[in-house]
Amino acid sequence: MTADRGLLRDVALVCLAGGVVGVSFGAIAVAGGLPVWVPVVMSLVVYAGSAQFSAVGILLAGGGPFAAAATGLLLNTRTAAYSLAVADIIGRRRATRLIGAHLVTDETVAFALAQPDPRRRRAAFWISGVGLFVSWNLCVLGGALAGSALGDTGTYGLDAAFPAVLAALVLPALRGDAGVRRAALAGAAVALAVTSVVPAGVPVLLALAGLLVARRPA
C-alpha cells in the first residue's frame, strides 16, 4: 500500500503543477482576446498542454487557424508513439481503449511506465489519467473565467511559465542523449534564426531540420 500511497501523492503533485499551467493557459487565451469557450472546449477535446499552448499562441499572434492546427498536430504526433508504448497497459475492452486513448499524455505514460508490474502500471495510467484530465480542465475553466479579472497576465509573469514547463519536461531527454541534445540545439537555432521572416508556427516546424544532425556515429 505504501507504493500506492506514494503514487497518489506524486499524481496529486503533478495535478497541482498541471493545474497552475492550466490556469495560466485559460488566462492567457482569454486575456489575449479569445472567447472563454475556446480554451475550455479545446482543453476537453484536444487535451494536450503543449499543443494547446502553441495553437493558442499562433491564433493570438495572428498566424491563422491552419498554422495553429498544423503545429498542434505536429507536436501531438508523439502521442502516437506513446499510445503504442502503453497500448497493452490501457486495457482490452473496446470502451476502455477508446476512453483510455484520450488520456495518453506525457505524464500518464511516464507514470505508467515507472511502475514495476502490469497491475500497477494499469492503475497508475488510469489514476493519473483521470486525475490529470479532471484537474487540467477545471483549472483551465478557472483561468479562463478569471482571465479578464487577472488583467494583463504579463504582470504575473505567466508567459515565462510555459517555456519553463517545457524545460522541465525535456531536460531528462536532453541530459541522457548527446544526439538528441545536438538535434534540439540545432533545431532551436534554426527556429530562432527564421522567426523574424516566416509566419508564426513555421519556425518550430523548420526546427525539425535539427534531426539531420541527430544521428550518432555508429
Among positions 70-129, residues that touch another protein (CB under 8 A) are: 72-88, 90, 97-98, 100-102, 104
How far is Cα 59 from Cα 66, in angstroms, rounded to an integer?
A: 9
Stretch that binds another protein, among 56-64, 112-120, 126-134, 141-149 (CB under 8 A): 56-64
135 binds another protein (CB under 8 A): no
46 binds another protein (CB under 8 A): yes
**To which residue does cell 544526439 refer?**
179
| CB contact set of 115 (below 8 Å; sequence gap of 6+) | 7, 121, 123, 124
Whole-number minimum distance, CB 112 to another protein, in Å?
Answer: 12
Exactly one of 20, 110, 130, 138 binds another protein (CB under 8 A); that residue is 20
Exactly one of 65, 134, 151, 178 binds another protein (CB under 8 A); that residue is 65
Exactly one of 34, 124, 127, 150 binds another protein (CB under 8 A); that residue is 34
Smaller CB separation from another protein, 123 or 188: 188
Exactly one of 3, 41, 114, 134 binds another protein (CB under 8 A); that residue is 41
User: DSSP for the chain?
Assistant: -HHHHHHHHHHHHHHHHHHHHHHHHHHHHHHTT--THHHHHHHHHT--HHHHHHHHHHHHTT--HHHHHHHHHHHHHHHHHHHHHHHHHH-SSHHHHHHHHHT--HHHHHHHHTSSSHHHHHHHHHHHHHHHHHHHHHHHHHHHHHHHHH--GGGGTHHHHHHHHHHHHHHHHHHH-HHHHHHHHHHHHHHHHHTTTS-TTHHHHHGGGGGGGTPPP-
Whole-number minimum distance, CB 4 to another protein, in Å?
Answer: 21
Residue type, 196: S
Smaller CB separation from another protein, 57 or 127: 57
Exactly one of 1, 2, 5, 45 binds another protein (CB under 8 A); that residue is 45
Exactly one of 7, 21, 124, 140 binds another protein (CB under 8 A); that residue is 21
**Interface positions, 152-211, toward another protein (CB under 8 A):** 154-171, 173-174, 177, 179-180, 183-185, 187-188, 190-192, 195-197, 200, 203-204, 207-208, 210-211
13 binds another protein (CB under 8 A): yes
